[in-house]
Amino acid sequence: MHTLARLSDQCREIGLAPGQTVMVHASLRAVGPILGGPDVLIDGILRSVAPDGTMMVYVGDQTPFDDVGRGLFTPEEEAFILEHCPAFDPATARANRDFGAFAELFRTRPGARCSQNPGARMAALGAKADWLTRDHPLNYGLGAGSPLDKLCQIGGGVMLVGSDLDEVTLLHYAENIAPIADKKTVKIKLPLLIDGRRQWTEIEECNSMTGIRDWPDRFFATIVQSFLETPNVRTGLIGDARTYLIDARALVDFAIPIMEETAKRGARLDR
């Protein structure tokens, strides 16, 4: 079994340092058995960036808080949701089940702060947790002004702990800010608690479910795999999991030209 001491040592070996802000994607299955349970992995990461560092995790929400308007339901189903769905509470709503157990474990950690945008909700612990999660825009919640934007502003990192390279949330930020015309967007309705009562509020965002254009299969994974060959990556093991520590801003700057060229190539093919 992996111990707190060993996990902390591995975090430092891969490059985590005091004062760093890091967004973590983790597969608990890939890490393997941990003495004391999976919360010890969170302990190890936080210990490595203490006392002034911060850890952030994408937690999102469960269906159907941000699904009305996406075309996932029939008109009758949407009408039922609009009538009966409770208001979204960013502090208590469960993490998206598709994100695995790690997201919910982190969200329920004592002291964790959660941002207000349901589908783009981030949770954070540490010195910059309040700042990262504060004033999260409802429109284009993975773009400018989002916790992802702030992560890049302060030179933060992304740590992939045995996770799928196609699920790197930061690349949705790259999609949002990339100078690409005719992006796919979607208008959805959110059940927000405003002045003590539920109000359905319409917002607009880049369509993160399909991508802003018709990208090739596993497009994000292709970008990340190419980026792993650059000097802006540290690699090692966390538990049993192959892990990469990535410079967030460098990944965004690397991804945008690839997205631009792929969008242009797709436009040429359409013609």
What residue spans define the domains of the chain?
4-60+96-180+223-270
Percentage of the chain beyond pLDDT 90 is 96
pLDDT score recorded for residue 209: 87
**SS3 state at 161:** strand
pLDDT score recorded for residue 267: 58
Looking at the predicted structure, is the pLDDT value of residue 104 above 80?
yes
The Cα–Cα gap between 95 and 63 comes to 10
Looking at the predicted structure, is the pLDDT value of residue 46 above 60?
yes
pLDDT score recorded for residue 266: 81
Tokens of 218: 């596993």
Q: What is the mean pLDDT of residues 91-106?
A: 95
Q: What is the mean pLDDT of residues 20-48?
A: 98
The Cα–Cα gap between 271 and 268 comes to 5
DSSP assignment of 39-69: HHHHHHHHHHHTTT-EEEEE----TTTTTBT
pLDDT score recorded for residue 271: 45
Q: Give the number of other Cβ atoms within 10 Å of residue 197's Cβ.
A: 8
Looking at the predicted structure, is the pLDDT value of residue 226 above 70?
yes
Do the bridges between strand 197-206 and strand 113-114 make them parallel or antiparallel, or are there none, so unpaired? unpaired
SS (H, E, C) 91-157: CCCCCCHHHCHHHHHHHCCCCCEECCCCCCCEEEEECCHHHHHCCCCCCCCCCCCCHHHHHHHCCCE
Q: What is the mean pLDDT of residues 259-267?
A: 90
pLDDT score recorded for residue 268: 53
Q: What is the mean pLDDT of residues 188-216?
A: 95
Q: How long, in residues, is the chain?
A: 271
- What amino acid occupies position 153? Q
Looking at the predicted structure, is the pLDDT value of residue 10 above 60?
yes
